[in-house]
Structure 1
Amino acid sequence: MKRLVKELKETGYMGMQTPVEQVAFVLRKFAEWFPFENVDVMRGNKADITPEFLTDKMVVKRRGGLCYEINPLLLLVLKTLGFEAELGAATVYNEGKWGLHRTHAIVLLRINGENYIADSGFGSRLALSPLPLDGDEVTSPAGTFRLRTHATEKGSIAMESLSAQGDWTICYVFDWKTVPWNELSKAKRNIHENPRSPFNKQLLIATILPDGTQSINEERRHRKWKDGHEETSPFENKQALIDSVRLNCSSSLAEAVENYTTPSQYQPKKH
């Protein structure tokens, strides 16, 4: 983690005045450095989640990952920086349905005696700032978010986002309980193998940009701006997909996508 901490300090971390600003800076850099991507799921890489695995994949190779990779790396960095941080687990809620139980890894934070969460692994729906429990809402290029005490069958705290219609909707729910590190590998296996998993169906790479969000799958690149404008650019062939990943992400991620999209695996879809 020393390498990442050194990079953070060299790129502006030391200029942040408060702990909340410091964590927000780390979250912004994580969004810049580590895309949300499921290439390992699609390629069947079921290696256990260890600090060594995360260092090799994300710090050395500059790949991204899913929540059970990005947020544990975030946890290790925040602890190295001196923050009181622990691993937590949430259950995603989407379109009226619960996702796989407690498979979304998050970071539980205590800052100046108050409870916050930090999350760099929720696709492109990132607040880019720690969310205080029952505190102020936070706005980023991805939207507006808040953390509220909210009793449900899956937990007592909800991370919520503000919809275009002005309603608050639940993104995920959790209890303020520390979970052991070995739960990460269990969540990874569940995401890989469970037919209800949304991440073992097709390629997904999602990032947040200064002016909005973008996502790439095997069919297209999709951009959404803060003003609500959206644009979809279909891929005509495999090379167009790889070129888009190389343009928007790291060369190592583009190489991983190219290895995944071998002729025996890749069948371009008709538009």
Structure 2
Amino acid sequence: MERLVRKLKKSGYVESWPPVERAAFILRKFAEWFPFENVDVLTGNETDVTPEFLMDKMVEKQRGGLCYEINPLLLLVLQELGFDAELGAATIKKDGQWALDRTHALVLLYMEGQHYIADGGFGNRLALSPLPLDGEAVISPAGTFRLRTRQTEKGTIAMECLNDQEEWAVQYAFDWNPTPWGKLSVMKHTIHSHPHSPFNKQLLIAQTFPDGTQSINEERQHRRWGDGREETIIFQDTASFLEAVRHDCSPALASEIEKYKTQS
């Protein structure tokens, strides 16, 4: 973790900042450095999720990952920097339906007498700041988010986002119970193999930037800016898809995607 901590400090991290400001800085840098990507799912990389695996894949090779990779790495960095942080597990709700049970990893934070969550692994729907439990909403280029005590079928705390109808919609729910590190590999196996997994069907790369969001699959690239403008580029063939990947992804990620396309 020392290497990643040094990189954060070189990027402007200041230890004297208030805890929420420091955590928000780390979340913004994680969004910049570690895209949400599922290439390992599609290529069948079944390596257990360990700190060594995360450092090799994401720091050394400059790859991204899914929630059970990005957020555990975030947890380790926060702990290294002195934060009171633990691993949590939530169940995602999409289009009114609950997804696979407790397969979303997140970080539980306790700062200055207040409970927060930190999440750098929710695709391109990132708040880019810790969310306080029953506190004020947080606005990012990806939307408006809040954390509420709310009874659901999947827990007593819900992360919510304002939808296009300006209504609060549950994105995921959980209980404030620390999750053992060993559960990460269980999450990974479920996401890799379960028929209802949303991530073992097609390639996805997603990021939240300071000015908007982006997602790429094998058919199109979609950008949405903070001012509401949107652009969708349809790939005419594999070559145009790979050209976009090389332009927007790290060399290591682009190389893995090319290998996947060669094998598929």
* Residues 1-271 of structure 1 aligned to structure 2 (within 5 Å): 1-14=1-14, 17-262=17-262, 264-265=263-264
Deviation at 1:229, TM superposition (A): 2.4
Matched AA of 2:231:
E
Output the CA distance in 2 between the equivalents of 1:126 and 1:222.
Answer: 16
Which sections of structure 2, spanning at least 5 residues, go unmatched?
A: none
Deviation at 1:113, TM superposition (A): 1.6
SS in 2 for 1:17: coil
User: TM-score normalized by structure 1?
Assistant: 0.96
RMSD: 1.0
Deviation at 1:16, TM superposition (A): 6.1
Output the CA distance in 1 between the equivalents of 2:177 and 2:64.
Answer: 26
Matched AA of 2:61:
K
- Compared with structure 1, are the counterparts of its residues 62 and 6 closer, same or farther at alpha carbon in structure 2 (3 Å cutoff)? same
Matched AA of 2:77:
V
- Compared with structure 1, are the counterparts of its residues 253 and 170 closer, same or farther at alpha carbon in structure 2 (3 Å cutoff)? same
Alignment length, in residue pairs? 264
Output the CA distance in 1 between the equivalents of 2:153 and 2:112.
Answer: 30
Deviant stretches of 4+, over 6 Å: none
SS in 2 for 1:223: strand
SS in 1 for 2:127: coil
Deviation at 1:241, TM superposition (A): 1.5
Output the CA distance in 1 between the equivalents of 2:79 and 2:48.
Answer: 21
SS in 2 for 1:231: strand
User: TM-score normalized by structure 2?
Assistant: 0.98
Q: Percent same amino acid among aligned pairs? A: 64
Output the CA distance in 1 between the equivalents of 2:210 and 2:20.
Answer: 20
